[in-house]
Amino acid sequence: MRLLAVGLSHRTAPVELRELVDFARGGLDVALAALAARGVTREAVVLSTCNRAEIYAVSESDAAAGTIGGFFSEYHQIQDGRVAEYLYRLSGSDAARHLFTVAAGLDSLVVGEPQILGQVKAAFSVASDLRYTGALTNRLFHSAFAVGKRVRADTGLGEGAVSVSYAAIALARKIFGDLKGLRVLILGAGEMAKLTGVHLQAQQVREIAIASRTHASAHGLASRLSGRAVAWTDLDAALTAADIVVTATGAAEPVLTRQRVDAIMRPRRGRPLFIIDIAVPRDVESAVGDLDQVFLYNIDDLQTIVKENLARRTTELARAEAIVDEEVAKFSTWMQSREIIPTVVALRERFEAIRQAELRRLEPKLAGLPPEARARVDEITHLIVEKLLLTPTEQLKTVNDDTMAVTYSDALNRLFGLAEEPAAMGVKRQSGAERRVK
């Protein structure tokens, strides 16, 4: 039994190729069924996002990695040579490490982004619902979820907004707390104004008002954002009512002067005003930021925050990697015990079976012996078997490398014919593994 991870990601493959091997497009269930039909995998999970396409599988065949690699091109009907060079093929604890790194957001385009953990969970639940997963993939994915959760909780990796819109929303939250009761005023009706409006709308603000010099375009954007259009002449009243003002007009001169904002601040009675100026050239005089209870951020300020957050995330990498290492070690130990312990048990059972069989075969010759002598024979043969098995058992238990574990298991299976009675052996192996898990 071997754990495999075969796939490609934004780190290895160009976007044109990633688009071609998107498993999610045709449905993960279809892809899983097609993979299962190849007959080499016992368990499988397909993870497919815009940045990666990966198959995690458990197989008994040594050629499985090649078959799964081939599946990428066959399933998507791409010339084989084109995909193969971009694929990584990992096995055992390397495969586990890769999944843990992915789930922690360490392998993402934007390091630490949180969506990937949800995508990994979704990929697993599709495979799990359709019963393509088994003991090994179950354990693997649940460990991966734990890694993602720990990295999120114990490191600052996911902290700090890494896009301008999220930086603005994070700031607004730090000023106002919940954004639900807030009134937003957007000046301008262009593309930037629309984008910011969509982000704020997603925060379920109380009201979005749009003011533009051309009333028609204000109406257009207002209807798209289910907001309210404000006439340019009523701007001061709208400013007084607003908590967050986004300015994105194409005006060459500042729209909000210090004098104007100072005047609208008076009737607000100390209610804070957060002005986000994303226009270039700027719509708001920088002196406006000096007014009490006014927080003014322009596009450059927001971009600086984003840069700082990205830099801070990289310093948290080491802590996140330590968590991944720890969990990989735990998982590997568990996986090896699965490999080795059943082999040890099977080996001992085989030796004992041979001893018993020989004793039965010699029964006519031993029949004449007195009971004490027969007990002696039983004891001596038992001791010989124990002595013969002592060193191999100890050696096997100290194997701490999963490729070695597989090699040993394979060798022992072959040398002693341990897999010859598959039905009986299967039951015993499973019970051995379960004992160990408990």
Partner 1 sequence: MHLLPLILYAAATAAYVVHFAWRDPRVGRLATATLGAGVLAHTFLIGMQTVQVGHAPLVGTTAAISAFVWLLGLSYLYVELTTDERAMGLFVAILLVVLYLIPALDPSVSPRPPVLRSPLFTVHVVSMLFAYASFALGAVLGITYVLLFKEIKAKQLGFFYARLPSLQTLDVMNARVVTIGWICLTLGITIGGIWAAQVHQVPDPRVQAMSVLDPKILVALVSWAVYSFAVFARRVGWSGRRAAWLSTVGFAIVLLNFVPVGYFLTKSHNF
Instruction: Note the residues at the interface with partner 1 (CB under 8 A).
Output: 153-154, 156, 159, 171, 173-178, 268-272, 289, 292-293, 295, 297, 301, 304-305, 308
The encoded tokens of residue 123 equal 């990929």
In the complex with partner 1, the residue whose CB is nearer, 209 or 302, is 302
Could you list the active site residues? 50
Closest separation in Å from C-beta 111 to partner 1: 18
Q: What angle do CA 369, 370, 371 make, to 5 degrees?
A: 115
Is residue 320 within 8 A of residue 155, CB to CB? The reply is yes
Strands of 292-361 (E only): list them: 294-298
The encoded tokens of residue 341 equal 């312990």
In the complex with partner 1, the residue whose CB is nearer, 154 or 386, is 154
Query: Which residues, at least 6 apart from 139, have a Cβ–Cβ distance to it below 8 Å?
Result: 331, 334
The encoded tokens of residue 334 equal 């568990």
Closest separation in Å from C-beta 300 to partner 1: 10
- Kindly state the DSSP code that residue 229 receives in the 8-state scheme: E
* Residue 109 vs residues 88, 348, 352, 409: alpha-carbon distances, Å: 17, 50, 56, 39
Is residue 172 within 8 A of residue 179, CB to CB? The reply is yes
CA end-to-end span of the chain, whole Å?
20
In the complex with partner 1, the residue whose CB is nearer, 180 or 376, is 180
Is residue 3 within 8 A of residue 56, CB to CB? The reply is yes
Closest separation in Å from C-beta 312 to partner 1: 9
Q: Provide φ and ψ at 8, rounded to 5°.
A: -145, 155
In the complex with partner 1, the residue whose CB is nearer, 263 or 354, is 263
Closest separation in Å from C-beta 295 to partner 1: 6
Closest separation in Å from C-beta 177 to partner 1: 4
CA–CA separation, 329 and 335 (whole Å):
10
Closest separation in Å from C-beta 178 to partner 1: 8
CA–CA separation, 314 and 304 (whole Å):
16
**CA dihedral of 273, 278, 279, 281, whole degrees rounded to 10:** 90
